Chain A
Amino acid sequence: MAIHLVHVRRAPREGTTIEPRDERRLAELAKAGDEDAFAELVRGRTDSVVAFLRRMLGNTEDARDVAQLTFLRVWENLPRYDPTFAFSTWLYRIAGNLAIDALRARGTRARTLAESFRVVRGGLLATEPEAPLRLSQEEIRRVFDACATVLSEKQRIVFVLRELEEKESREVAEIVGCRESTVRNHLFQARRLLREELRRRFPEYAPAARPGAGEARA
């Protein structure tokens, strides 16, 4: 069985074209009570925040709800926004904290859903075991959601920000509120746990590893 990584080049998203400098300016205007500026900020960041929360929560509906709450928190806390920091860093910090709250609130339910997915998916795959498997984004996402239940909230947010949102370790550290070395540690642990979970639950997606591959320590 051959497995292909399906790489899709990131298409420019509508509504996410605001430059960081402009975001700071808009945030300053919004802080001063400019509702149009705030609407512009929300419009510009909706896609990225919903996508991030979708990866954190594994559910689009929950992601939208928490995204809405995130922007409401942003609006409430605008007077405390420090423009020396990037607006996106501040935004992701709020979104991340709310996502962690949501994960904690519904921890058991997420695990149950993930387990049930394993059963359904196994049944579907069994029908065509030798066919070359080109994974759809939807399936990759579902596999990730299933495997990510083994991660702690911190490990998950670090992995999502670093690996899926492609943020640098320095920015991840600012968002999560820890040191870069801690980010690296969380990232290493998250990768290890995901690797193990992938091999345990979805061996067909985890080809035989080369000795020592992927095990290097930060």
Chain B
Amino acid sequence: MNSPVCSRLDDLLEKRDGDRLSLSEERLLAGHLASCDACAAEALRHDPVLLFSRDAARSAPDILSVEARERFVGDVLAATTAARAGRRHVVSRTGIGLRIAASLLLAVSVAGVWYARERGASPPPEEGTFPVADAAGTSPEQVETLPAVENVRAAGAVVYQFPASRPGEPTVVFVVDRNADI
């Protein structure tokens, strides 16, 4: 022990135990332990954990070669590019999805408007009358071809007939049969 720092070793080690070393003292201690074997041995007796500390634990193999570092950087940049592309892909897929949804919404709206207009174009049913139907369950278009009303002979059946008021209009006939097996 021949350096001024040697005589301060105990004090420095004690401060280190309490994590009270200033930055300059830390550097002083580390530098001194690197150059003074006697103090290094003493420090190790004081606290074996110093074995791991400071420059003792510096590990040269961790330092990558220039080639290894460039390869590492290249890998990182490739990963970020892939991540960015993935994000764009997600964004574009979302965009397509939105466009499809908007188109569907538009189509449904147009169909709804068309349907509403179609319904609105039909004359409102008069009171006491109902949409054309027939006892046999045929479609309205088939009403014209129905047999004559007088052919309905079911017992208890009531026939309502609404003749056309002008040429081209159909004659509407209702048959109410409480005993019909529908």
Q: List the interface of chain A (C-beta within 8 A of B).
A: 2-11, 13-15, 35, 38-39, 42-43, 46-47, 50-51, 54-55, 60, 63-64, 67-68, 71-72, 75-76, 135, 137-138, 140-141, 143-144, 162-164, 166, 168-169, 183-184, 187-188, 191, 194-195, 198-199, 205-210, 213-218
Contact B52 A140 (CB under 8 A): yes
Q: Which residue in chain B gives the minimum CB-CB distance to A188?
A: B19
- Provide the residues of chain A in CB contact with B149, threshold 8 Å: none
- Provide the residues of chain A in CB contact with B59, threshold 8 Å: 51, 54, 137-138, 141
Q: Which residue in chain B gives the minimum CB-CB distance to A50?
A: B62
- Provide the residues of chain A in CB contact with B70, threshold 8 Å: 43
Q: A68-B79, A135-B51 are in contact. List 18 more A-B contacts (CB 8 A).
A: A2-B41, A3-B44, A4-B37, A8-B60, A9-B34, A50-B62, A71-B80, A135-B56, A140-B56, A163-B52, A164-B54, A164-B57, A213-B45, A214-B46, A215-B17, A216-B18, A217-B18, A218-B18
Classify the interface of chain B: helix, strand, loop or mixed: helix
Of the candidates B30, B46, B54, the one whose C-beta lies within 8 Å of that of A210 is: B46
Tell me if B61 counts as interface (CB < 8 A to partner A).
Answer: yes
Of the candidates B26, B41, B80, the one whose C-beta lies within 8 Å of that of A4 is: B41
Contact A43 B69 (CB under 8 A): yes
Q: Which residue in chain B gives the minimum CB-CB distance to A195?
A: B49
Q: Which residue in chain A gives the minimum CB-CB distance to B42?
A: A210
- Provide the residues of chain B in CB contact with A143, threshold 8 Å: 51-52
Complex CA distance for A89 and B94, rounded to whole angstroms: 36
- Provide the residues of chain B in CB contact with A137, threshold 8 Å: 56-61
Contact A209 B45 (CB under 8 A): yes
Tell me if B145 counts as interface (CB < 8 A to partner A).
Answer: no
Contact A51 B51 (CB under 8 A): no
- Interface size of B by CB at 8 A reads 48
Contact A68 B61 (CB under 8 A): no
Complex CA distance for A215 and B66, rounded to whole angstroms: 43
A-B contact pairs, 19 of them (CB 8 A): A5-B41, A5-B44, A13-B63, A15-B69, A38-B80, A43-B70, A50-B72, A54-B59, A164-B54, A166-B26, A195-B47, A198-B48, A207-B45, A209-B46, A209-B47, A209-B48, A214-B47, A216-B17, A218-B17
Of the candidates A42, A76, A194, the one whose C-beta lies within 8 Å of that of B52 is: A194
Contact B80 A72 (CB under 8 A): yes
Tell me if B76 counts as interface (CB < 8 A to partner A).
Answer: yes
Question: Nearest 6 pairs between A and B by C-beta?
Answer: A214-B47, A7-B34, A216-B17, A206-B48, A51-B62, A5-B40
Contact A5 B52 (CB under 8 A): no
Least Cβ distance of B131 to chain A in Å? 63
Of the candidates B18, B50, B54, B75, the one whose C-beta lies within 8 Å of that of A68 is: B75
Contact A166 B54 (CB under 8 A): yes
Least Cβ distance of A141 to chain B in Å? 5
